[in-house]
Structure 1
Amino acid sequence: MKTFSAASLSSLSLGVLAMLGGCLEPMADRPSLARRDVELRDRQAEAKAPPPPIETIADPVLARDLTGMLARADKAEADFAIARSAAQQATAAARGNAMGSENWSVAQTRISALDTPRRELSQLLGDLEVLYVARLAKEAAGEVKPGGSAQIDQTRTHVLALVASQDAVINNLKAALAS
């Protein structure tokens, strides 16, 4: 049996008291763990909402860029819908099969195929971020008329909602395959 000295017990009790002292700090100094407004938004409803009208943009270069970006988003969403159908069918066929079985492997492959159109949307989102920041800088410097940044922001919101919707589909299929 091991015995402890009074000094080691004293340092242990001081260490415990120091740790407990951290628990007694006022909560007002810490960030809240409550859900933020952005986490409560309905991303699927935003994804189904139509993209912003391009005709209202006065800057023809910006209008062309956003039209091209929305076309890329439409193509990625259409590609995702085709891949989603195949993944849903494969996942349904794999239900109840053991991990590593033929049906499970096919379903896993089909779910992985969803990453390609989703990656296209993610890249598009990055391009929109770059365009948005550049437009804000130009508007602040007075190089272009204000207003185009709002159109870019609406397009970003639309594409972000599409990404969130696709993420939900992928997560649901993975969960269905795991059960």
Structure 2
Amino acid sequence: MKVTPANIARLVLSAAPLLLGGCLKPMAELPSLERRAVELRDREAEAKAPPPPVESAVDPALARDLAAMLARADTAEADFAVAHSAAQQAAGAARGKDVGSELWSVAQTRISALDAPRRELAQILGDLEELYVARLQKEAAGELKSGGSDQIEQARQHVLALLANQNEVITRLKASLAS
């Protein structure tokens, strides 16, 4: 059989019903062209509406524990401030004096007194980290609602900042005696 345009046309016309038959399905199986509920939503109104309030998991026991720890941290910070004032005065008096002199020894003693409140803050930080890990494990296991770990992390960051500041103060005071 020779390939001519007429033969091609006959072949296409004879195969057309077979090809189109595969495309026909009952109407019940076809998806609807109606607008879906998601398409009918008023997106502009949703964008202008305030976001829903974030559910905060307020655990009274956790709040009480965190308040107690932060109160201890505030006390340690106040103790550090008092000791810092005395250490700063002693370091100022010892500046330029010989290592081992009376004023230098007094300044070293006063700077060493800063370690006690700093140790207290370090202990509080350790307690917060233990509480944080335990809380995360319980939240992951579904034993507790999530959200409490966020509160612990905020308290932990606060204590960490206080501790970093105290370390900086001590380092600065020691450096002032070295010269």
CA–CA separation in structure 2 for the residues paired with 1:57 and 1:107: 48
CA–CA separation in structure 2 for the residues paired with 1:62 and 1:141: 18
- After superposing on structure 2, the runs of 4+ consecutive aligned residues of structure 1 that deviate more than 4 Å are none
SS in 1 for 2:143: coil
Letter in 1 for 2:161: A
Task: Give 1:58 deviation, angstroms.
Answer: 1.0
Larger RCO (alpha carbons 8 Å, 6+ apart): 1
Determine the structure 2 residue equivalent to 1:145. 145
Report the RMSD for the aligned CA atoms in angstroms.
0.8
In our comparison, the structure showing a higher alpha carbon Rg is: 2
Contact 1:76 1:117 in 2 (8 A): yes
Determine the structure 1 residue equivalent to 2:67. 67
Structure 2 gap segments, 5+ residues each: 1-55
Please say if 1:91 is aligned against 2:99. no
Contact 1:125 1:156 in 2 (8 A): yes
Determine the structure 2 residue equivalent to 1:134. 134
CA–CA separation in structure 1 for the residues paired with 2:95 and 2:167: 21
Matches within 5 A, 1:42-81: 58-81=58-81
Q: Deviations over 1:120-179 (max 9, x none)?
A: 000000000000000001101111110000000011001000000000000000000111
Task: Give 1:57 deviation, angstroms.
Answer: 5.5
Contact 2:57 2:145 in 1 (8 A): no
CA–CA separation in structure 1 for the residues paired with 2:96 and 2:149: 50
Q: Deviations over 1:79-116 (max 9, x none)?
A: 00000000000000001110000000000000000000
* Pairs aligned (count): 124
TM-score for both structures, normalised by structure 1: 0.68
Task: State percent identity of aligned pairs.
Answer: 73
CA–CA separation in structure 2 for the residues paired with 1:178 and 1:132: 40
Matches within 5 A, 1:1-179: 58-179=58-179
Letter in 2 for 1:168: E
Contact 1:57 1:63 in 2 (8 A): no
Q: Deviations over 1:48-85 (max 9, x none)?
A: xxxxxxxx661000001000000000000000000000
Letter in 1 for 2:71: A
CA–CA separation in structure 1 for the residues paired with 2:159 and 2:70: 8
CA–CA separation in structure 1 for the residues paired with 2:57 and 2:166: 28
Contact 1:132 1:153 in 2 (8 A): yes
